[in-house]
Amino acid sequence: MSELLDFQDAFVAALDGAPEGLSPWLGPDAGLAGLTVYRNTIAKGCVDALAANFPTVLSMVGEEWFRAAAALFAREAPPASAALQGYGEAFPAWLGRFPPAEALPYLAGVAHLDRLWTEALFAAEAPTLSAEALAGLAPQALAEGRLALHPSVRFAAFEAGLPSLWSAARAGETELDLPARAEALLCRRRDGVVAHRVIGEAETEFLRACRDGQPLAQAAERAALADPDVSVASLFAALIADGVFGGLNLETAR
Amino acid sequence: MTPTAGLGLKSQHYDDAVACDAAGLWFEVHPENYMSAGGPRLAALEAVRARHPLSLHGVGLSLAADANPDRQHLAALKALVDRFEPFVVSEHLAWSTHRGAHQPDLLPFPRSRAALVRIADNIGRTQDALARRVLIENPSLYLPLKGHDLDEVDFLKALVAATGCGLLVDVNNVFVSARNLGYSAEAYVDALPAEAIGEIHLAGHGLDEGGSGLLIDTHGAPVAEPVWALYRRLVRRVGPRPTLIERDDDIPAFQVLMAERDRAASELAALEAVGV
Of the pLDDT bands very low, low, confident and very high (cuts 50, 70, 90), residue A177 is confident
**Can you give the pLDDT at residue B275?**
75
Q: Report how far residue B106's alpha carbon sits from residue B90's, in angstroms, rounded to the nearest whole number.
A: 14
pLDDT string in tens for chain B (276-residue length): 789 999 999 999 999 999 999 999 999 999 999 999 999 999 999 999 999 999 999 999 999 999 999 999 999 999 999 999 999 999 999 999 999 999 999 999 999 999 999 999 999 999 999 999 999 999 999 999 999 999 999 999 999 999 999 999 999 999 999 999 999 999 999 999 999 999 999 999 999 998 999 999 999 999 999 999 999 999 999 999 999 999 999 999 999 999 999 999 999 999 987 777
Contacts of B41 in chain A (CB under 8 A): 122
Q: Is residue A128 part of a domain?
A: yes
Residue B142: closest C-alpha in chain A:
A34
Say whether both A150 and A220 belong to one domain: yes
- Give the Cα separation of B178 and B229 in Å (integer): 15
On whether both A62 and A174 belong to a single domain, the answer is no
Neighbours of A66 (CB within 10 A): 19
Residue positions counted in chain B: 276
Say yes or no for a CB contact (<8 Å) between A121 and B40. Answer: yes
Q: What does the pLDDT read at residue B243?
A: 98
pLDDT of residue A182: 92
The answer to whether the Cβ–Cβ distance between B104 and A27 falls below 8 Å is no
Contact A193, A228 (CB under 8 A): no
The answer as to whether A130 is a domain residue is yes
Look at residues B158, B251, B84, B140 and name the one whose alpha carbon lies nearest to residue A37: B140
How confident is the model over A173-188, as a mean pLDDT? 92
Q: What percent of chain A has pLDDT over 90?
A: 89
- Can you tell me the distance from the alpha carbon of B71 to that of B97, in angstroms, rounded to the nearest whole number? 13
A122·B208 Cβ contact <8 A: no
- Confidence check: pLDDT of A253 > 60: no
In this structure, is residue A12 part of a structural domain?
no
The CATH number covering residue A146 comes to: 3.90.930
A106 and A128 housed in the same domain: no
Residue of A7, A150, A190 to mutate when probing chain B, most B C-beta within 10 A: A7
Residues in B touching A188 (Cβ below 8 Å): none
Interface touch A125/B109, C-beta < 8 Å: no
ipTM score for this prediction? 0.95
Whether A24 is covered by a domain: the verdict is no
- Interchain CB distance below 8 Å, A86 and B147: no
Domains delineated in chain B: 5-274 (3.20.20.150)
Query: What does the pLDDT read at residue A144?
Result: 94
Do A128 and A153 have their domain in common?
yes
The average confidence (pLDDT) of chain A is 94
Shared domain check, A129 and A246: yes
Where does the pLDDT of residue A251 fall: very low under 50, low under 70, confident under 90, or very high at 90 and above?
confident
Query: Could you read off the pLDDT of B61-111 as tens digits, one per residue?
Result: 999 999 999 999 999 999 999 999 999 999 999 999 999 999 999 999 999
Task: Please tell me which of the candidates B105, B118, B147 has its beta carbon nearest to residue A41.
Answer: B105
Tell which of A83, A105, A122 closes a domain: A122
Helices A3-15 and B113-130, interaxial angle, to 10°?
A: 90
- Whether A8 maps to a domain, the answer reads no
Within a domain: residue A246? Answer: yes
Q: Which residues contact B50 (CB under 8 A, 6 or more apart)?
A: B18
- Position A252 scores a pLDDT of 62
In a domain, A79, yes or no: yes
Chain A residues closer than 8 Å to B180 by CB = 34
The candidate with the shortest Cα–Cα distance to B198, out of B152, B275, B134, B264, is B134
Q: Clarify whether residues A107 and A167 are in a common domain.
A: no
Chain A contact set for B74 (CB, 8 A): none
Residues A141 and A181 in one domain: yes
- β-strands B215-216, B206-207 pairing: antiparallel
Comparing alpha-carbon positions, the chain A residue that sits nearest to B37 is A124
- CB nearest to B212's CB, from A33, A78, A122: A33
Residues A95 and A152 in one domain: no
Nearest-by-Cβ selection for A8 from B65, B114, B214 = B65
Distance CA B174, CA B223 (A): 13
In-domain check, residue A68? yes
Residues A118 and A196: their CA atoms lie apart, in Å, by 12
The per-residue pLDDT for range A110-151, each reduced to its tens digit, is 999 999 999 999 999 999 999 998 888 999 999 999 999 999
Q: What percent of chain A has pLDDT over 70?
A: 98
The verdict on a CB contact (< 8 Å) between B40 and A38 is no
Give the pLDDT score at B125: 98
Kindly tell me the sign of the dihedral angle through the C-alpha atoms of B2, B7, B8, B12: negative
Closest CA to A56 of A235, A215, A196, A206: A196
Q: Which residues contact B111 (CB under 8 A, 6 or more apart)?
A: B147, B148, B149, B150, B151, B152, B155
Query: How near does any CA of chain A get to the CA of B229, in Å?
Result: 26
Quickly state the pLDDT bin for A58 (edges 50, 70, 90). Answer: very high
Q: Do B104 and A79 touch (CB under 8 A)?
A: yes
Q: How far is A35 from chain B (nearest CA, A)?
A: 7
Q: What is the dihedral of CA B118, B99, A83, A156, to 10 degrees?
A: 160
A254, pLDDT greater than 60? no
The pLDDT tens digits for A77-119 are 999 999 999 999 999 999 999 999 999 999 999 999 999 999 9
Q: Using CB atoms within 10 A of its CB, is residue A17 exposed (0-12), middle (13-18) or buried (19+)? A: exposed
Same-domain status, A94 and A40 = yes
Tell me if A49 and B104 make a contact (CB, 8 A cut-off). Answer: yes
Number of domains comprising chain A:
2
Residue span of the structural domain in which A78 resides: 32-122
Q: Select from A72, A92, A122 the last residue of a domain.
A: A122
Q: Where does a domain end: A66, A91, A122?
A: A122
Same-domain status, A171 and A244 = yes
Q: β-strand B95-98 against B101-107: which pairing, if any?
A: antiparallel
**Residue A27: pLDDT band with limits 50, 70, 90:** confident
Assess contact for A162 and A150: CB atoms under 8 A: no
- Cβ contacts of A49 on chain B, cutoff 8 Å: 104
Q: Are residues A136 and A217 in the same domain?
A: yes
Same domain assignment for residues A111 and A142: no
